[in-house]
C-alpha cells in the first residue's frame, strides 16, 4: 500500500505520515515512493504514536550520516599533493586496470584502451 492508503488505515493525514517518515529517517522505496505491507502497520502505528508524543526522532536510531559512515569505518585521506602519494595512486589504478582487463579477456570480451 502507498502512503495515502497507509495514512488512512492509521487514521492520520498523508502529510503527517510523510513528515513522520522523513523525521525518522526511513528509506524511500523505488521512485521515491513509500510502500507498506499490512504487516508493517502495527509497528508503524506504535512508532508514529511515540513520535507524536515526543515530537522528535527516536534518539536510539542512528542518523543517516552515522548509518552510512558506520558501514565503511573511518576514512583517511592521504595528501594528493605529495608526489609519493600520487605515484602510489597511479600504481594502484594501473594494477586495477590490468586486473579488469584480464577479467574481461577471460570472459571473452576483448576491450582495451591501449593506443
Predicted confidence (pLDDT) at residue 31 exceeds the cutoff of 70: no
Spatial distance between the Cα atoms of 35 and 32, rounded to a whole number of angstroms: 10
Given a cut of 70, whether residue 115 has pLDDT beyond it is: no
| E strand spans, 1-115 | none
Element (H, E) at 104: helix 83-106
More confident residue, 36 or 28: 36
Q: In terms of pTM, does the model score above 0.75? A: no
11 Cα distance to chain centroid: 30
Answer yes or no: is pLDDT of 57 > 60: no
Which comes out higher in pLDDT, residue 75 or 107? 107
Which DSSP state fits 38?
G
Percent residues over pLDDT 90 in the chain:
16
Query: Mind listing the pLDDT tens digit for each residue in 80-95?
Result: 889 999 999 999 999 9
| CB-based contacts of 35, cutoff 8 Å, min separation 6 | 1, 2, 29
What is the structure's pLDDT at 95? 96
pLDDT score recorded for residue 79 = 87
Amino acid at each position: 500500500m502507498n502512503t495515502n492508503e497507509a495514512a488512512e488505515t492509521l487514521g492520520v493525514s498523508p502529510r503527517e505520515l510523510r513528515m513522520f517518515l522523513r523525521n525518522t529517517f526511513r528509506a524511500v522505496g523505488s521512485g521515491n515512493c513509500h510502500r507498506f505491507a499490512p504487516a508493517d502497520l502495527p509497528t508503524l502505528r506504535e512508532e508514529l504514536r511515540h513520535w507524536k508524543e515526543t515530537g522528535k526522532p527516536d534518539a536510539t536510531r542512528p542518523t543517516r550520516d552515522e548509518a552510512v559512515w558506520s558501514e565503511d569505518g573511518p576514512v583517511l585521506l592521504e595528501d594528493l599533493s605529495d608526489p609519493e602519494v600520487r605515484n602510489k595512486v597511479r600504481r594502484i589504478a594501473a594494477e586495477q586496470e590490468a586486473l579488469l582487463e584480464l577479467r574481461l579477456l577471460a570472459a571473452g570480451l576483448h576491450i582495451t584502451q591501449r593506443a
